[in-house]
Amino acid sequence: MVLLALAGCATVPGSAPRGAAASSQPLDHIVVATPDESHDLVAQLLGGEMALTHTDLKTASTYYSRAMMLSDDPRVAEQAAAVAMAVRDVPAAQAAIVRWQSLGAKPAPLAQARAQLALSQGDTDEARRQLVLLVGTGDPDAWRQFGRVLLGSRDAAQAAQLLEAVATPQRLPADPQAWLAMSELGDKLGRHAYAQQIAEGAVKRFGTAETYAWQAQMKFHDGDKAGAKALFDKALAKSPKNTRLRLAYATLLGQSGDYAGAARMLDNGPQDADTYALRAALAARNNDTKALTRLYGQLQRSSPDVRDSSAYLLGQLAEMLDRKEEALKWYDAVPDEDEHAFDADLRSAVLLQDLGRSAEAHQRLAQMQTDYLDQPALLRRAYEVDAELYMNGQQYALAEHAFSRALQVVPDDPALLYGRGLAYAEEGQVDRAVNDLRRLLELKPDDTDASNALGYTLADANRDLAEAQRLIEAARAARPDDPAIQDSWGWLQYRLGHLDQAEKTLRGAWAVHKDADVGVHLGEVLWKQGRPEDARRVFDEVRKIDPQSISLHNTLKRLNP
Protein backbone atom coordinates (compact mmCIF):
# COMPACT_ATOMS: atom_id res chain seq x y z
CA MET A 1 0.00 0.00 0.00
CA VAL A 2 2.90 2.34 0.77
CA LEU A 3 4.37 1.64 -2.67
CA LEU A 4 1.02 2.36 -4.36
CA ALA A 5 0.70 5.60 -2.43
CA LEU A 6 4.19 6.60 -3.43
CA ALA A 7 3.44 5.76 -7.05
CA GLY A 8 0.24 7.82 -6.98
CA CYS A 9 2.00 10.83 -5.52
CA ALA A 10 4.63 10.62 -8.17
CA THR A 11 2.07 10.90 -11.04
CA VAL A 12 -0.06 13.75 -9.67
CA PRO A 13 1.05 17.05 -11.27
CA GLY A 14 0.81 20.51 -9.68
CA SER A 15 2.32 22.43 -6.82
CA ALA A 16 2.34 21.55 -3.16
CA PRO A 17 -0.79 22.31 -1.10
CA ARG A 18 -1.02 25.71 0.57
CA GLY A 19 0.79 25.73 3.92
CA ALA A 20 2.75 22.52 3.30
CA ALA A 21 6.53 22.62 3.76
CA ALA A 22 8.38 22.53 0.49
CA SER A 23 10.63 19.76 1.82
CA SER A 24 7.78 17.51 2.94
CA GLN A 25 8.12 13.91 1.72
CA PRO A 26 5.49 11.16 1.52
CA LEU A 27 7.42 9.01 4.04
CA ASP A 28 7.14 11.78 6.61
CA HIS A 29 3.43 10.97 6.91
CA ILE A 30 3.89 7.21 7.59
CA VAL A 31 3.51 6.16 11.22
CA VAL A 32 4.80 2.66 12.06
CA ALA A 33 3.03 1.12 15.03
CA THR A 34 5.52 -0.40 17.54
CA PRO A 35 4.47 -2.58 20.45
CA ASP A 36 5.36 -1.62 24.01
CA GLU A 37 8.25 -3.55 25.55
CA SER A 38 6.06 -6.00 27.48
CA HIS A 39 4.50 -7.14 24.19
CA ASP A 40 7.71 -7.17 22.16
CA LEU A 41 8.94 -10.76 21.76
CA VAL A 42 12.45 -9.74 20.76
CA ALA A 43 12.74 -7.44 23.79
CA GLN A 44 11.61 -10.22 26.13
CA LEU A 45 14.03 -12.75 24.65
CA LEU A 46 16.93 -10.30 24.81
CA GLY A 47 16.03 -9.42 28.39
CA GLY A 48 15.97 -13.09 29.33
CA GLU A 49 19.32 -13.78 27.71
CA MET A 50 20.93 -10.77 29.37
CA ALA A 51 19.59 -11.84 32.75
CA LEU A 52 20.99 -15.34 32.25
CA THR A 53 24.35 -13.84 31.31
CA HIS A 54 24.37 -12.08 34.67
CA THR A 55 23.06 -15.25 36.43
CA ASP A 56 19.94 -13.37 37.47
CA LEU A 57 17.61 -16.35 37.13
CA LYS A 58 14.59 -14.74 38.76
CA THR A 59 14.58 -11.86 36.27
CA ALA A 60 15.24 -14.28 33.41
CA SER A 61 12.22 -16.33 34.45
CA THR A 62 10.01 -13.23 34.31
CA TYR A 63 11.19 -12.38 30.80
CA TYR A 64 10.78 -15.92 29.47
CA SER A 65 7.32 -16.26 31.01
CA ARG A 66 6.25 -13.22 28.95
CA ALA A 67 8.12 -14.38 25.87
CA MET A 68 6.46 -17.80 25.75
CA MET A 69 3.00 -16.14 25.55
CA LEU A 70 4.14 -14.03 22.59
CA SER A 71 5.80 -16.90 20.71
CA ASP A 72 4.51 -20.04 19.01
CA ASP A 73 7.96 -21.65 19.25
CA PRO A 74 7.89 -24.54 21.78
CA ARG A 75 11.58 -23.96 22.53
CA VAL A 76 10.76 -20.65 24.18
CA ALA A 77 8.21 -22.31 26.48
CA GLU A 78 10.76 -25.07 27.21
CA GLN A 79 13.31 -22.47 28.27
CA ALA A 80 10.70 -20.71 30.39
CA ALA A 81 9.94 -24.00 32.18
CA ALA A 82 13.63 -24.72 32.78
CA VAL A 83 14.39 -21.30 34.25
CA ALA A 84 11.25 -21.30 36.39
CA MET A 85 12.23 -24.67 37.88
CA ALA A 86 15.76 -23.39 38.48
CA VAL A 87 14.35 -20.64 40.73
CA ARG A 88 11.78 -23.08 42.19
CA ASP A 89 8.83 -21.00 40.98
CA VAL A 90 6.30 -23.83 40.84
CA PRO A 91 3.31 -21.85 39.43
CA ALA A 92 5.47 -20.35 36.66
CA ALA A 93 6.94 -23.77 35.85
CA GLN A 94 3.48 -25.37 35.68
CA ALA A 95 2.22 -22.63 33.38
CA ALA A 96 5.26 -22.97 31.14
CA ILE A 97 4.83 -26.74 30.88
CA VAL A 98 1.15 -26.34 29.91
CA ARG A 99 2.08 -23.76 27.27
CA TRP A 100 4.93 -25.94 26.03
CA GLN A 101 2.63 -28.95 25.64
CA SER A 102 0.06 -26.88 23.74
CA LEU A 103 2.78 -25.83 21.26
CA GLY A 104 3.75 -29.42 20.51
CA ALA A 105 6.41 -30.43 23.03
CA LYS A 106 8.15 -33.72 22.35
CA PRO A 107 7.15 -36.48 24.78
CA ALA A 108 10.60 -37.20 26.27
CA PRO A 109 11.67 -33.70 27.31
CA LEU A 110 8.11 -32.95 28.46
CA ALA A 111 8.12 -36.00 30.74
CA GLN A 112 11.57 -35.01 32.00
CA ALA A 113 10.33 -31.53 32.94
CA ARG A 114 7.25 -32.91 34.67
CA ALA A 115 9.38 -35.37 36.63
CA GLN A 116 11.68 -32.57 37.74
CA LEU A 117 8.72 -30.50 38.83
CA ALA A 118 7.24 -33.40 40.77
CA LEU A 119 10.58 -34.01 42.52
CA SER A 120 10.81 -30.36 43.52
CA GLN A 121 7.37 -30.70 45.14
CA GLY A 122 8.27 -33.95 46.88
CA ASP A 123 5.70 -35.93 44.86
CA THR A 124 7.55 -39.23 44.44
CA ASP A 125 4.63 -41.09 42.85
CA GLU A 126 4.15 -38.49 40.12
CA ALA A 127 7.89 -38.29 39.54
CA ARG A 128 8.01 -42.07 39.11
CA ARG A 129 5.08 -42.02 36.67
CA GLN A 130 6.76 -39.35 34.55
CA LEU A 131 10.13 -41.10 34.63
CA VAL A 132 8.52 -44.33 33.42
CA LEU A 133 6.91 -42.35 30.60
CA LEU A 134 10.29 -40.76 29.82
CA VAL A 135 12.26 -44.01 29.44
CA GLY A 136 9.33 -45.57 27.59
CA THR A 137 9.35 -42.96 24.80
CA GLY A 138 12.15 -44.70 22.93
CA ASP A 139 13.99 -41.39 22.66
CA PRO A 140 17.73 -42.14 22.17
CA ASP A 141 18.55 -39.62 24.88
CA ALA A 142 15.88 -40.79 27.33
CA TRP A 143 18.14 -42.61 29.80
CA ARG A 144 20.60 -39.73 29.84
CA GLN A 145 17.71 -37.36 30.65
CA PHE A 146 16.54 -39.80 33.32
CA GLY A 147 19.97 -39.65 34.97
CA ARG A 148 19.98 -35.85 34.85
CA VAL A 149 16.65 -35.70 36.66
CA LEU A 150 17.91 -37.88 39.52
CA LEU A 151 21.25 -36.10 39.78
CA GLY A 152 19.38 -32.80 40.07
CA SER A 153 17.25 -34.01 42.96
CA ARG A 154 17.90 -32.36 46.33
CA ASP A 155 16.84 -35.56 48.12
CA ALA A 156 19.42 -38.30 47.48
CA ALA A 157 17.30 -40.97 49.20
CA GLN A 158 14.31 -40.10 47.00
CA ALA A 159 16.50 -40.21 43.88
CA ALA A 160 17.94 -43.59 44.89
CA GLN A 161 14.45 -44.98 45.46
CA LEU A 162 13.34 -43.86 42.00
CA LEU A 163 16.47 -45.25 40.40
CA GLU A 164 15.83 -48.74 41.73
CA ALA A 165 12.12 -48.54 40.92
CA VAL A 166 12.50 -47.39 37.31
CA ALA A 167 15.94 -48.49 36.08
CA THR A 168 15.33 -52.21 36.48
CA PRO A 169 17.15 -54.88 34.43
CA GLN A 170 13.86 -55.59 32.68
CA ARG A 171 13.40 -51.96 31.64
CA LEU A 172 17.00 -51.00 30.76
CA PRO A 173 17.70 -50.91 27.00
CA ALA A 174 20.04 -53.09 24.97
CA ASP A 175 22.81 -50.56 25.42
CA PRO A 176 25.78 -51.33 27.69
CA GLN A 177 26.46 -47.63 28.24
CA ALA A 178 23.01 -47.17 29.82
CA TRP A 179 23.62 -50.10 32.18
CA LEU A 180 27.02 -48.73 33.19
CA ALA A 181 25.60 -45.25 33.72
CA MET A 182 22.83 -46.56 35.98
CA SER A 183 25.26 -48.71 37.96
CA GLU A 184 27.57 -45.74 38.48
CA LEU A 185 24.62 -43.55 39.46
CA GLY A 186 23.51 -46.15 41.99
CA ASP A 187 27.00 -46.26 43.47
CA LYS A 188 27.05 -42.45 43.69
CA LEU A 189 23.66 -42.42 45.43
CA GLY A 190 24.79 -44.97 48.01
CA ARG A 191 22.89 -47.99 46.62
CA HIS A 192 25.91 -50.24 46.31
CA ALA A 193 23.98 -53.51 46.13
CA TYR A 194 21.92 -52.16 43.22
CA ALA A 195 25.08 -50.90 41.51
CA GLN A 196 26.68 -54.33 41.85
CA GLN A 197 23.56 -56.05 40.50
CA ILE A 198 23.46 -53.85 37.40
CA ALA A 199 27.22 -54.17 36.86
CA GLU A 200 27.02 -57.98 37.00
CA GLY A 201 24.00 -57.95 34.73
CA ALA A 202 25.88 -55.80 32.20
CA VAL A 203 28.78 -58.25 32.16
CA LYS A 204 26.46 -61.23 31.62
CA ARG A 205 24.34 -59.52 28.95
CA PHE A 206 27.02 -57.67 26.98
CA GLY A 207 30.44 -58.90 28.09
CA THR A 208 32.21 -55.85 26.66
CA ALA A 209 35.58 -54.58 27.80
CA GLU A 210 33.96 -51.57 29.44
CA THR A 211 31.52 -53.70 31.47
CA TYR A 212 34.35 -55.89 32.75
CA ALA A 213 36.41 -52.80 33.63
CA TRP A 214 33.57 -51.17 35.57
CA GLN A 215 32.87 -54.31 37.56
CA ALA A 216 36.61 -54.58 38.24
CA GLN A 217 36.64 -51.09 39.74
CA MET A 218 33.71 -51.98 41.97
CA LYS A 219 35.50 -55.13 43.13
CA PHE A 220 38.58 -53.09 43.92
CA HIS A 221 36.63 -50.57 46.01
CA ASP A 222 35.10 -53.51 47.90
CA GLY A 223 38.61 -54.68 48.78
CA ASP A 224 38.68 -57.62 46.36
CA LYS A 225 41.95 -56.77 44.59
CA ALA A 226 42.42 -60.23 43.12
CA GLY A 227 38.91 -60.22 41.68
CA ALA A 228 39.46 -56.75 40.28
CA LYS A 229 42.68 -57.78 38.52
CA ALA A 230 41.02 -60.86 37.04
CA LEU A 231 38.20 -58.77 35.59
CA PHE A 232 40.62 -56.17 34.21
CA ASP A 233 42.56 -58.96 32.52
CA LYS A 234 39.34 -60.06 30.81
CA ALA A 235 38.63 -56.47 29.77
CA LEU A 236 42.06 -56.07 28.20
CA ALA A 237 41.78 -59.44 26.49
CA LYS A 238 38.73 -58.09 24.68
CA SER A 239 40.31 -54.72 23.87
CA PRO A 240 44.10 -54.96 24.23
CA LYS A 241 44.82 -51.58 22.61
CA ASN A 242 42.24 -49.64 24.57
CA THR A 243 44.21 -46.80 26.16
CA ARG A 244 41.49 -45.88 28.64
CA LEU A 245 41.39 -49.43 29.97
CA ARG A 246 45.14 -49.56 30.37
CA LEU A 247 45.08 -46.26 32.25
CA ALA A 248 42.31 -47.49 34.54
CA TYR A 249 44.09 -50.79 35.21
CA ALA A 250 47.41 -49.05 35.83
CA THR A 251 45.71 -46.66 38.24
CA LEU A 252 44.24 -49.59 40.15
CA LEU A 253 47.64 -51.29 40.31
CA GLY A 254 49.25 -48.09 41.52
CA GLN A 255 46.62 -47.68 44.23
CA SER A 256 47.42 -51.26 45.29
CA GLY A 257 51.09 -50.34 45.65
CA ASP A 258 52.14 -52.34 42.59
CA TYR A 259 53.97 -49.48 40.86
CA ALA A 260 56.16 -51.78 38.80
CA GLY A 261 53.10 -53.61 37.49
CA ALA A 262 51.40 -50.34 36.69
CA ALA A 263 54.47 -49.17 34.76
CA ARG A 264 54.60 -52.42 32.77
CA MET A 265 50.92 -52.07 31.96
CA LEU A 266 51.51 -48.63 30.44
CA ASP A 267 54.86 -49.26 28.78
CA ASN A 268 53.32 -51.57 26.20
CA GLY A 269 50.71 -50.57 23.66
CA PRO A 270 49.66 -47.26 22.12
CA GLN A 271 50.78 -44.09 23.88
CA ASP A 272 49.09 -40.73 24.28
CA ALA A 273 49.51 -37.71 26.52
CA ASP A 274 47.64 -39.39 29.39
CA THR A 275 49.72 -42.58 29.37
CA TYR A 276 52.93 -40.57 29.31
CA ALA A 277 51.71 -38.46 32.23
CA LEU A 278 50.84 -41.47 34.39
CA ARG A 279 54.09 -43.23 33.47
CA ALA A 280 56.00 -40.13 34.55
CA ALA A 281 54.09 -39.97 37.85
CA LEU A 282 54.88 -43.63 38.57
CA ALA A 283 58.57 -43.21 37.73
CA ALA A 284 58.81 -40.10 39.90
CA ARG A 285 57.03 -41.94 42.72
CA ASN A 286 59.75 -44.61 42.59
CA ASN A 287 62.61 -42.11 42.07
CA ASP A 288 63.43 -44.14 38.95
CA THR A 289 65.84 -41.85 37.09
CA LYS A 290 66.42 -44.39 34.32
CA ALA A 291 62.71 -44.67 33.62
CA LEU A 292 62.35 -40.86 33.66
CA THR A 293 65.24 -40.50 31.20
CA ARG A 294 63.79 -43.14 28.88
CA LEU A 295 60.34 -41.57 29.09
CA TYR A 296 61.75 -38.10 28.36
CA GLY A 297 63.39 -39.38 25.20
CA GLN A 298 60.28 -41.25 24.05
CA LEU A 299 58.05 -38.24 24.60
CA GLN A 300 60.39 -35.97 22.64
CA ARG A 301 60.16 -38.43 19.71
CA SER A 302 56.39 -38.82 19.95
CA SER A 303 53.93 -37.51 17.37
CA PRO A 304 53.72 -33.71 17.11
CA ASP A 305 50.23 -33.50 18.60
CA VAL A 306 51.19 -35.59 21.65
CA ARG A 307 54.47 -33.73 22.09
CA ASP A 308 52.85 -30.30 21.74
CA SER A 309 50.11 -31.14 24.25
CA SER A 310 52.73 -32.50 26.66
CA ALA A 311 55.03 -29.45 26.77
CA TYR A 312 54.42 -28.96 30.49
CA LEU A 313 55.15 -32.63 31.23
CA LEU A 314 58.34 -32.40 29.16
CA GLY A 315 59.37 -29.38 31.22
CA GLN A 316 58.74 -31.30 34.45
CA LEU A 317 60.76 -34.27 33.22
CA ALA A 318 63.65 -32.06 32.11
CA GLU A 319 63.58 -30.35 35.51
CA MET A 320 63.63 -33.68 37.37
CA LEU A 321 66.62 -34.71 35.26
CA ASP A 322 68.37 -31.42 36.17
CA ARG A 323 68.24 -30.14 32.59
CA LYS A 324 67.15 -26.66 33.57
CA GLU A 325 67.74 -24.89 30.26
CA GLU A 326 65.74 -27.56 28.43
CA ALA A 327 62.99 -27.29 31.03
CA LEU A 328 62.78 -23.55 30.39
CA LYS A 329 62.40 -24.20 26.68
CA TRP A 330 59.54 -26.63 27.24
CA TYR A 331 57.76 -24.40 29.75
CA ASP A 332 57.93 -21.53 27.27
CA ALA A 333 56.28 -23.82 24.70
CA VAL A 334 53.18 -24.35 26.86
CA PRO A 335 50.29 -22.54 25.09
CA ASP A 336 48.48 -19.72 26.88
CA GLU A 337 45.21 -21.66 26.73
CA ASP A 338 46.76 -24.78 28.31
CA GLU A 339 45.52 -25.61 31.82
CA HIS A 340 49.17 -25.67 32.98
CA ALA A 341 50.13 -22.27 31.53
CA PHE A 342 50.21 -20.54 34.91
CA ASP A 343 52.24 -23.30 36.56
CA ALA A 344 54.65 -23.31 33.63
CA ASP A 345 55.33 -19.62 34.12
CA LEU A 346 55.86 -20.10 37.86
CA ARG A 347 58.32 -22.94 37.31
CA SER A 348 60.13 -20.82 34.72
CA ALA A 349 60.61 -18.05 37.27
CA VAL A 350 62.01 -20.49 39.83
CA LEU A 351 64.39 -21.99 37.25
CA LEU A 352 65.58 -18.56 36.15
CA GLN A 353 66.44 -17.80 39.76
CA ASP A 354 68.28 -21.12 40.09
CA LEU A 355 70.26 -20.29 36.96
CA GLY A 356 71.38 -16.98 38.41
CA ARG A 357 69.04 -14.93 36.24
CA SER A 358 67.23 -13.28 39.14
CA ALA A 359 66.19 -10.14 37.27
CA GLU A 360 64.50 -12.21 34.56
CA ALA A 361 62.76 -14.31 37.20
CA HIS A 362 61.21 -11.29 38.88
CA GLN A 363 60.38 -9.75 35.52
CA ARG A 364 58.46 -12.90 34.60
CA LEU A 365 56.55 -12.76 37.88
CA ALA A 366 55.80 -9.04 37.42
CA GLN A 367 54.25 -9.85 34.05
CA MET A 368 52.16 -12.60 35.65
CA GLN A 369 50.96 -10.15 38.29
CA THR A 370 49.62 -8.00 35.43
CA ASP A 371 48.19 -10.92 33.45
CA TYR A 372 46.24 -12.36 36.40
CA LEU A 373 44.89 -9.18 37.99
CA ASP A 374 41.34 -10.49 37.58
CA GLN A 375 42.08 -13.90 39.14
CA PRO A 376 42.81 -13.38 42.86
CA ALA A 377 43.93 -16.93 43.66
CA LEU A 378 46.52 -16.96 40.87
CA LEU A 379 47.57 -13.37 41.58
CA ARG A 380 48.17 -14.29 45.22
CA ARG A 381 50.37 -17.21 44.19
CA ALA A 382 52.42 -15.05 41.80
CA TYR A 383 53.11 -12.55 44.58
CA GLU A 384 53.96 -15.34 47.01
CA VAL A 385 56.52 -16.95 44.69
CA ASP A 386 57.99 -13.52 44.00
CA ALA A 387 58.39 -13.02 47.75
CA GLU A 388 59.88 -16.49 48.25
CA LEU A 389 62.51 -15.85 45.58
CA TYR A 390 63.43 -12.56 47.25
CA MET A 391 63.70 -14.41 50.58
CA ASN A 392 66.01 -17.00 48.99
CA GLY A 393 68.11 -14.15 47.65
CA GLN A 394 68.22 -12.55 51.13
CA GLN A 395 66.48 -9.45 49.75
CA TYR A 396 64.18 -9.20 52.72
CA ALA A 397 62.78 -5.70 52.13
CA LEU A 398 61.64 -6.68 48.64
CA ALA A 399 60.22 -9.94 49.99
CA GLU A 400 58.23 -8.04 52.62
CA HIS A 401 56.87 -5.75 49.90
CA ALA A 402 55.74 -8.71 47.77
CA PHE A 403 54.10 -10.40 50.76
CA SER A 404 52.32 -7.14 51.61
CA ARG A 405 50.91 -6.83 48.09
CA ALA A 406 49.69 -10.41 48.27
CA LEU A 407 47.99 -9.65 51.59
CA GLN A 408 46.12 -6.82 49.90
CA VAL A 409 44.63 -9.47 47.59
CA VAL A 410 43.97 -12.03 50.36
CA PRO A 411 43.91 -10.28 53.77
CA ASP A 412 44.85 -12.38 56.80
CA ASP A 413 46.07 -15.27 54.66
CA PRO A 414 48.01 -17.45 57.18
CA ALA A 415 50.83 -18.47 54.83
CA LEU A 416 51.37 -14.88 53.72
CA LEU A 417 51.36 -13.56 57.29
CA TYR A 418 53.93 -16.21 58.20
CA GLY A 419 56.15 -15.31 55.25
CA ARG A 420 55.95 -11.57 55.88
CA GLY A 421 56.62 -12.11 59.57
CA LEU A 422 59.85 -13.94 58.73
CA ALA A 423 60.83 -11.22 56.25
CA TYR A 424 60.27 -8.52 58.90
CA ALA A 425 62.33 -10.51 61.39
CA GLU A 426 65.22 -10.87 58.95
CA GLU A 427 65.04 -7.11 58.28
CA GLY A 428 65.28 -6.44 62.00
CA GLN A 429 61.75 -5.02 62.18
CA VAL A 430 60.97 -7.09 65.26
CA ASP A 431 57.75 -5.30 66.28
CA ARG A 432 56.20 -5.81 62.87
CA ALA A 433 57.34 -9.43 62.76
CA VAL A 434 55.82 -10.07 66.19
CA ASN A 435 52.55 -8.40 65.15
CA ASP A 436 52.21 -10.60 62.06
CA LEU A 437 53.05 -13.82 63.91
CA ARG A 438 50.73 -12.99 66.80
CA ARG A 439 47.94 -12.28 64.31
CA LEU A 440 48.63 -15.63 62.68
CA LEU A 441 48.32 -17.39 66.04
CA GLU A 442 44.99 -15.63 66.60
CA LEU A 443 43.80 -17.16 63.33
CA LYS A 444 45.45 -20.56 63.90
CA PRO A 445 46.16 -21.04 67.63
CA ASP A 446 47.61 -24.54 67.13
CA ASP A 447 49.99 -23.65 64.30
CA THR A 448 53.29 -25.22 65.32
CA ASP A 449 55.42 -23.32 62.80
CA ALA A 450 53.93 -19.99 63.89
CA SER A 451 54.52 -20.80 67.57
CA ASN A 452 58.13 -21.70 66.85
CA ALA A 453 58.69 -18.64 64.64
CA LEU A 454 57.27 -16.21 67.16
CA GLY A 455 59.12 -17.86 70.03
CA TYR A 456 62.39 -17.73 68.13
CA THR A 457 61.84 -14.10 67.07
CA LEU A 458 61.30 -13.05 70.68
CA ALA A 459 64.30 -15.06 71.88
CA ASP A 460 66.53 -13.67 69.13
CA ALA A 461 65.48 -10.13 70.12
CA ASN A 462 66.13 -11.07 73.78
CA ARG A 463 62.68 -9.89 74.86
CA ASP A 464 59.55 -11.45 76.37
CA LEU A 465 61.56 -14.62 77.11
CA ALA A 466 58.81 -16.14 79.27
CA GLU A 467 56.41 -15.94 76.32
CA ALA A 468 59.13 -17.25 74.00
CA GLN A 469 59.66 -20.26 76.29
CA ARG A 470 55.92 -21.04 76.40
CA LEU A 471 55.66 -20.86 72.59
CA ILE A 472 58.73 -22.97 71.86
CA GLU A 473 57.75 -25.57 74.45
CA ALA A 474 54.39 -25.92 72.67
CA ALA A 475 56.18 -26.40 69.36
CA ARG A 476 58.56 -28.98 70.90
CA ALA A 477 55.62 -30.92 72.29
CA ALA A 478 54.08 -31.10 68.81
CA ARG A 479 57.31 -31.96 66.95
CA PRO A 480 60.03 -32.99 69.40
CA ASP A 481 62.50 -34.17 66.75
CA ASP A 482 62.30 -31.14 64.45
CA PRO A 483 65.83 -29.63 64.19
CA ALA A 484 64.44 -26.14 63.49
CA ILE A 485 62.47 -26.22 66.74
CA GLN A 486 65.49 -27.62 68.59
CA ASP A 487 67.51 -24.70 67.21
CA SER A 488 64.92 -22.27 68.66
CA TRP A 489 65.04 -24.03 72.03
CA GLY A 490 68.84 -23.99 72.09
CA TRP A 491 68.94 -20.30 71.20
CA LEU A 492 66.44 -19.54 73.94
CA GLN A 493 68.64 -21.37 76.45
CA TYR A 494 71.54 -19.22 75.30
CA ARG A 495 69.50 -16.06 75.91
CA LEU A 496 68.60 -17.36 79.37
CA GLY A 497 72.29 -17.91 80.12
CA HIS A 498 72.10 -21.71 80.16
CA LEU A 499 75.17 -22.21 77.97
CA ASP A 500 75.68 -25.93 78.62
CA GLN A 501 72.05 -26.74 77.80
CA ALA A 502 72.23 -24.46 74.75
CA GLU A 503 75.34 -26.25 73.44
CA LYS A 504 73.83 -29.70 73.96
CA THR A 505 70.60 -28.81 72.19
CA LEU A 506 72.25 -26.95 69.29
CA ARG A 507 74.86 -29.65 68.76
CA GLY A 508 72.08 -32.22 68.48
CA ALA A 509 70.23 -30.09 65.92
CA TRP A 510 73.49 -29.47 64.00
CA ALA A 511 74.20 -33.22 63.84
CA VAL A 512 70.78 -33.90 62.37
CA HIS A 513 70.64 -30.99 59.93
CA LYS A 514 73.65 -28.96 58.78
CA ASP A 515 71.75 -25.69 58.50
CA ALA A 516 73.77 -22.47 58.35
CA ASP A 517 71.74 -20.69 61.04
CA VAL A 518 72.02 -23.64 63.44
CA GLY A 519 75.79 -23.66 62.89
CA VAL A 520 76.07 -19.94 63.52
CA HIS A 521 74.13 -20.32 66.78
CA LEU A 522 76.29 -23.24 67.92
CA GLY A 523 79.46 -21.35 67.05
CA GLU A 524 78.38 -18.32 69.06
CA VAL A 525 77.57 -20.48 72.10
CA LEU A 526 81.02 -22.14 71.87
CA TRP A 527 82.64 -18.72 71.58
CA LYS A 528 80.82 -17.49 74.67
CA GLN A 529 81.98 -20.63 76.52
CA GLY A 530 85.54 -19.54 75.88
CA ARG A 531 86.21 -22.08 73.10
CA PRO A 532 87.02 -19.89 70.09
CA GLU A 533 88.87 -22.62 68.17
CA ASP A 534 85.88 -24.96 68.37
CA ALA A 535 83.67 -22.06 67.31
CA ARG A 536 85.88 -21.28 64.28
CA ARG A 537 85.71 -24.88 63.12
CA VAL A 538 81.92 -24.70 63.13
CA PHE A 539 81.99 -21.31 61.39
CA ASP A 540 84.23 -22.80 58.68
CA GLU A 541 81.63 -25.50 58.06
CA VAL A 542 78.95 -22.84 57.82
CA ARG A 543 80.97 -21.01 55.13
CA LYS A 544 81.00 -24.20 53.03
CA ILE A 545 77.25 -24.54 53.36
CA ASP A 546 76.38 -20.88 52.70
CA PRO A 547 79.29 -18.64 51.70
CA GLN A 548 76.94 -15.63 51.56
CA SER A 549 75.39 -16.13 55.00
CA ILE A 550 74.42 -12.73 56.39
CA SER A 551 73.87 -14.30 59.80
CA LEU A 552 77.47 -15.54 59.89
CA HIS A 553 78.81 -12.19 58.72
CA ASN A 554 76.90 -10.28 61.40
CA THR A 555 77.81 -12.73 64.14
CA LEU A 556 81.53 -12.64 63.39
CA LYS A 557 81.44 -8.86 63.24
CA ARG A 558 79.79 -8.76 66.65
CA LEU A 559 82.02 -11.37 68.30
CA ASN A 560 85.30 -10.19 66.86
CA PRO A 561 84.95 -6.52 65.85
The full DSSP string for 381-416 is: HHHHHHHHHHHHTT-HHHHHHHHHHHHHHSTT-HHH
Q: Is residue 244 part of a domain?
A: yes
Q: What is the pLDDT along the chain (561 residues), one digit of tens a residue?
A: 232 232 333 333 333 443 444 445 554 544 444 455 667 899 999 999 999 999 999 999 999 999 999 999 999 999 999 999 999 999 999 999 999 999 999 999 999 999 999 999 999 999 999 999 999 999 999 999 999 999 999 899 999 999 999 999 999 999 999 999 999 999 999 999 999 999 999 999 999 999 999 999 999 988 898 999 999 999 989 998 888 888 998 888 888 888 888 888 888 788 889 999 999 998 998 888 999 999 999 999 999 999 999 999 999 999 999 999 999 999 999 999 999 999 999 999 999 999 999 999 999 999 999 999 999 999 999 999 999 999 999 999 999 999 999 999 999 999 999 999 999 999 999 999 999 999 999 999 999 999 999 999 999 999 999 999 999 999 999 999 999 999 999 999 999 999 999 999 999 999 999 999 999 999 999 999 999 999 999 999 999 999 988 889 999 998 886
Q: Is residue 246 part of a domain?
A: yes
Q: How far apart are CA 252 and CA 218, in angstroms?
A: 11
Helices (H), 428-498: 430-443, 448-460, 465-478, 483-495
For 282-412, strand residue ranges (E) read: none
Q: In total, how many domains does the chain have?
A: 1
Q: Is residue 269 part of a domain?
A: no
DSSP per position, 15-64 = PPPTT--TT--GGGG-------GGG-HHHHHHHHHHHHHTT-HHHHHHHH
DSSP assignment letter at 444: -
DSSP assignment letter at 333: T
Find the radius of gyration of the CA atoms of the chain.
36
Question: Quick one: which of 428, 482, 419, 404 has its CA closest to 450?
Answer: 419
φ/ψ (deg, to 5) at 523: -60, -40
Q: Is residue 524 part of a domain?
A: no
What are the distances in angstroms from CA 297 to CA 265, 273, 301? 19, 14, 6
Q: Is residue 231 part of a domain?
A: yes
Q: Is residue 176 part of a domain?
A: no
Range of the domain at 229: 211-258
pLDDT for res 215: 94
What's the first-to-final CA gap in the chain, in angstroms?
108
Amino acid at the residue 189: L
Q: Is residue 220 part of a domain?
A: yes
φ/ψ (deg, to 5) at 141: -105, 10
Q: Is residue 224 part of a domain?
A: yes
Contact 317, 292 (CB under 8 A): yes
